[in-house]
Amino acid sequence: MKKNILKNDGVQSLIASLVCIVLGVLIGYIVLLFINADGAGEAIKTILQNFLTYKKPSSQLKYLGNTLVKTAPLLMCSLSILFAYKVGLFNIGAAGQYCAGIALSIYAALAWGWSWLPCMLLAMVGGALLGAISGLLKSYRNVNEVISGIMLNWITLYATNMLLTNVKESASPYTIVIAHENPGAIIPSLGLGALFNNNKYVTIAIPLSIIVAIIVMVVLDKTKFGYELKATGNNKNAAKYCGMAEKRNIILTLVISGAIAGLGASMLYLTGYEQWECSTSSVPGMGFNGIAAAFLGGLNPIGSILSSFFIQHITAGGAYVDKSLYCAQISDLIAAIIIYLCGFVLFMKQVMNRNIAKHEEKAERLASEIEKGGEK
């Protein structure tokens, strides 16, 4: 029997992702119609265009660079979620681990005068330590990683505010501009900025994030270590009886996951693109958007590269919506609707598999009836 191409996991992920994107855009458009029908079409077009709303190619390139700058940390958060999920763990603590990376990379750059590479490594250590706490609680006290992750998210947020208050500007709640205080802490561009109309924020963090995605894919799919991790996630007890150290694997998974999230934070803040606001009262959304990016990408590291770009693209595009027709928060609302729908990729795949199974069962039954009829 000829193999059904729709049963291919990659094809299913692609179709499910496209369906979720279309549904998200459609629902977003309907919401805009209810709020103000006159500008709904133009608003949804603007969100999808993002940097293409600019007429000059040079401006388009510059703002494409800005989108890519924020895609890199989102991709890292996506990979953090994906890596843990492949091992049967839901690392909702990625937001807190990302926050730890912010705190340590910025503080090391401004208070200690470290260069960019040690700052990035320290950010990874911070995220890894938080991941280790969740891993230890999960392994030895059976504390659900979601519960411990949520608690650590808030603890880390307030700890970050307290720590970075020591390196903030005297007249504002924002941290000191790293590029002014310690230029050596800014991730080098190596000429990449020139490709985007001399965008100074475009650095090697962008290709580095893609390299990390490839490494994650290789580790999970092509190594014994990755196989052990996934086996532990599929059945912890079976892995234990096969001689695998299931507790060690759970801890290692969350440590690696946390390190990736922490690295993502340094990839944004060590470009100088943003400053941390020490009065921040909510956990950075980057960690949570990483969940949507991971599922929209079909839980595939390469797919996550594309999904992270798309989510950041529509998030940035929302800023260009006409504020005279819609309130300032409308862009966030529409982007949130689309991002929310992106989380239903796995559900869509389940629906597809169920329908394919029913169709094949019906075809087999029909073939069997025809065969029996022929024998008579």
Ordered DSSP codes for 314-343: HHHHGGGS-TTTS-TTHHHHHHHHHHHHHT
CB atoms within 10 A of CB 293: 31
pLDDT score recorded for residue 374: 62
375 falls within a domain: no
pLDDT score recorded for residue 331: 65
Closest C-alpha among 294, 258, 278, 306 to residue 95: 258
pLDDT score recorded for residue 201: 97
Structure tokens at 168: 């903030």
Per-residue pLDDT tens for 234-255? 777 777 777 788 889 999 999 9
Q: Does residue 136 contact residue 82 with C-beta atoms inside 8 Å?
A: no
Which CATH number fits the domain that encloses residue 141?
1.10.3470
376 falls within a domain: no
374 falls within a domain: no
Q: How many domains does the chain have?
A: 1
Per-residue pLDDT tens for 64-86? 999 999 999 999 999 999 999 98
204 falls within a domain: yes
79 falls within a domain: yes
pLDDT score recorded for residue 1: 47
373 falls within a domain: no
Given a cut of 50, the residues of the chain with pLDDT beneath it are: 1
Domain that holds residue 224: 6-366
CA angle 358, 359, 361 (to 5 degrees): 65
Closest C-alpha among 299, 320, 75, 347 to residue 205: 75
pLDDT score recorded for residue 4: 67
- CA gap 33, 106 in Å, rounded: 43
372 falls within a domain: no
339 falls within a domain: yes
